[in-house]
Structure 1
């Protein structure tokens, strides 16, 4: 796989960092999740392909152990607020001094500098600070956050993974590591670059929810079908719009012009009435094989059984039968090979990991006896 041989130490956290770690693991990196000992519950639902070592970081011995793991790895991925790792003596300044090839990735909401660097927040806050939240929502309604995807996962986990890969690539030339400062605010804003850079051509001149791509246009929206399901319509270009009208059995001569903004409410009512006359399956049969840009809105229960997704193997099941998306993108020569085993329980691989990092059985026994580490599955 593309990242085979890359060792990653991931400090256990929530959502964005685990996603970043899972991306790296899916494409072949050896990702070791460092969990705290005696946790109340496992919070990482994106542990695919990872292994877990449980270390008591409230002890000097635990901190020294983590230090040794970091110094023998290629990447450190940490999700804490600014300053936490420095208090442990494990900041990038200390670790890069001893291991100049280390990639030290720091994934936070507001980044490592600025007046909000120490502030708490969540996806909706980072999205608000990025400017994007102001653009999300229906006309006449308040802004809304579309799940916690844009900042946490797009601007956070995915962008951080990109930063790590770029740093690893650059290291092949310089032989040196560096710090990746991944801010979810900036990552989300960067995802929205199109919005900024397309404003000059008039695509976002109207209020929120009244532009072509933000649910303002009746030919770029979702419609309920007679069985209570939905279809998605994205017929922007004239040739696609013509196919949409053809499938709906509507005559363009009886309708307002496609780009007549003032007539969009009327056009939406016509489309809504027509789509409500048939089931989702009916409309799928009508529009499949055309360029009308009409697709069913698939539920999580239905998505893997759609013929297109089935043919590409777009969804996979693990050993517990849990379904999830296949890693993307698909590489022709070194594709991802996602692990189908259950996600690791906390401390499951403590012993085998310590052995890989050069600890003897006697040393591991001493660490276990002292409570510096825990092993909850493997045995000596």
Structure 2
């Protein structure tokens, strides 16, 4: 079965999480992603713990299905090699601060002259323009500036730091993937590439569809913990069970709330779904007292017989036995000839004709340097010389093609 992005060649200069997650998605669906690392530390995530073989579990997860070339872009010969690679590339993805690639002499203005069809995606915290463009930052900073963090947490308490990187993945990696694919689609019609400018702060702000448009109309800032779907209401809340586990109740529609109230034996709550907040607190307290009388599995079994949008709050240990995740094959075991079995999160986009797949683990540092250079016409002697000069690394002198 073919892959959706077969024949697409991507040069990936990103590291850490947002960029590698973006190119992981593209690699999972068939793109040839060449991860270009420097000849020193390379991608820092390699050193994280725990490890699978030589590299971290995280590195294997977001860099699977890729090739690795180690190249020193600060040297003239390194720049020459990269420019030659870019001649036949479809996409370049980088996550440096604005101007870094230009100072190295391999920025978009240079690349588009040698390859007018190239799609160039720059994934940064604040984008290529504006007073914040060159500021350092991380996910927490981006969602803070975007106004998103202000709403995460409980009423009358400080904002809570989210345990997953919202801006990095949702505002950055996913939008970069979409931007790249849109630019490639446009290229099919125009024959021209373009520059895709992705700001993780912009992306995080775009997630505020349930709140910011209302503010534009009313000029009223909602308070933390008082948004309709932030735990303010009894029908959209998490309750603790007898065994110290939790249930999520997402009974937003009246029909689901009605079923929930009937199951817990409190039908008088049916017509109190949207009462004021002080009444919501009273109802939540009463519901909590009821939910505390049974274990999580008991409640899950009871609610499995009705449509009430009640689900268990799963721990990681529950995921591999969850029947939905099993059916969707969302956790897969890849058998590597050297490392052995490795569990990975599967490609999430299901396609009937061109599905994604995990074909290999993340590459060792510079594993494909010699292979790629040989494909470009470099001789064994030239590859050995470049290795000795520190322009490249990872090449095998005796047998450069792996």
TM tier, smaller: over 0.9
State the alpha-carbon separation in 2 of the partners of residues 41 and 112 from structure 1: 23
Are the aligned partners of 1:105 and 1:160 in contact in 2 as well (CA < 8 Å)?
yes
Contact 2:16 / 2:44 at 8 angstroms: preserved in 1? no
Match 1:17 to one of 19, 22, 36: 19
Q: Is 1:366 aligned to residue 377 of structure 2?
A: no
Task: Output one character per residue of 1:268-323: Cα deviation in whole Å (capped at 9) or x when no partner.
Answer: 11121122211111111111242110111111221121111111212222335443
CA spacing shift, 1:377–1:224, aligned 2, 3 Å: farther
Secondary structure of 2:45's aligned partner: coil
Partner residue of 1:335 out of 342, 350, 355: 355
CA contact (8 A) 2:387 2:395 kept: no
Whole-angstrom CA distance in 2 between matches of 1:155 and 1:11 = 19
Aligned pair in 2 of structure 1 residues 255, 154: CA closer, same or farther (>3 Å)? closer
Q: How far is the alpha carbon of 1:377 from its aligned partner?
A: 7.2
Distance 1:146 1:75 in 2: 32
- State whether residues 112 and 118 of structure 2, in contact with CA within 8 Å, keep that contact through their aligned partners in structure 1: yes
Residues 291 and 84 (structure 1), Cα distance of their counterparts in 2 relative to 1, 3 Å cut? same
8 Å contact from structure 1 (residues 34, 52) kept in 2: yes
Partner residue of 2:343 out of 323, 340, 360:
323
| Residue pair 1:102, 1:178 contacting (<8 A) in 2 also | yes
Q: Is 1:87 aligned with 2:103? A: yes
Alignment of structure 1 residues 232-247 onto 2, 5 Å: 232-247=248-263
| 1:376 to partner: Cα distance | 6.3
- Residue 222 (structure 1) aligns with: 238
Counterpart CA distance in 1 for 2:173 and 2:222 is 32
Q: Provide, for residues 172-228 of structure 1, a one-character-per-residue CA deviation record: whole Å limited to 9, x for no partner.
A: 0000000000000111111222332355899x9752212220111121111121222
Q: Which of 5, 8, 19 is the equivalent residue of 1:6?
A: 8
User: In the alignment, is the contact (CA less than 8 A) between 1:205 and 1:211 conserved in 2?
Assistant: no
Secondary structure, counterpart of 1:253 in structure 2: helix
Q: Distance in 2 between matches of 1:164 and 1:289?
A: 44
Relative distance call for 1:293 and 1:176 in structure 2 (3 A) is: same
CA-atom RMSD, angstroms? 2.1
**2:37 equivalent among 35, 38, 45:** 35
Describe the SS at the equivalent of 1:244.
helix
Deviation at 1:362, TM superposition (A): 3.0
1:211-254, Cα deviation, whole Å (9 max, x unpaired): 22011112111112122211111011111011112222x22226
Give the whole-Å Cα distance in 1 for the aligned partners of 2:331 and 2:70: 31
Q: 1:271 to 1:112 in 2, by over 3 A?
A: same
Q: Give the Cα–Cα distance (whole angstroms) in 1 for the partners of residues 122 and 364 of structure 2.
A: 24
Give the equivalent residue in structure 1 for 2:273: 258
Aligned equivalents of 2:23, 2:29: Cα separation in 1: 10
- Report the secondary structure of 1:271's partner residue: helix
Find the residue that maps to 1:323 and give its secondary structure.
strand
Equivalent residues in 2 for 1:1-380 (5 A)? 1-39=3-41, 42-43=44-45, 45=59, 46-197=62-213, 206-248=222-264, 250-253=265-268, 257-261=272-276, 262-319=278-335, 320-339=340-359, 341-375=360-394, 379-380=399-400
Measure how far apart 1:353 and its partner are.
1.8
Which sections of structure 2, spanning at least 5 residues, go unmatched? Answer: 47-58
Are the aligned partners of 2:83 and 2:106 in contact in 1 as well (CA < 8 Å)?
A: yes
User: What is the distance in 2 between the residues matched to 1:102 and 1:149?
Assistant: 29
> 256-265 or 358-367: which moved more?
358-367
Once residues 121 and 254 of structure 1 are traced to their aligned partners in structure 2, the CA distance between those partners, rounded to angstroms, is 46
Single out whichever of 176-185 and 66-75 deviates more from structure 2. 66-75
Quickly say closer, same or farther: Cα 1:356–1:198, change in 2 above 3 A.
Answer: farther
**How far did 1:338 drift?**
2.3
Change (3 A) 1:367 1:297: same
Instruction: Point out where structure 1 has 5 or more consecutive residues left out of the alignment.
Output: none
Residue in 1 that maps onto 2:52? none
Contact map agreement 1:124 1:148 (CA 8 A) in 2: no
1:200–1:78 CA distance, 2 compared to 1 (3 A) = closer
Where does residue 53 of structure 2 map in the other structure? none
Match for residue 55 of structure 2? none
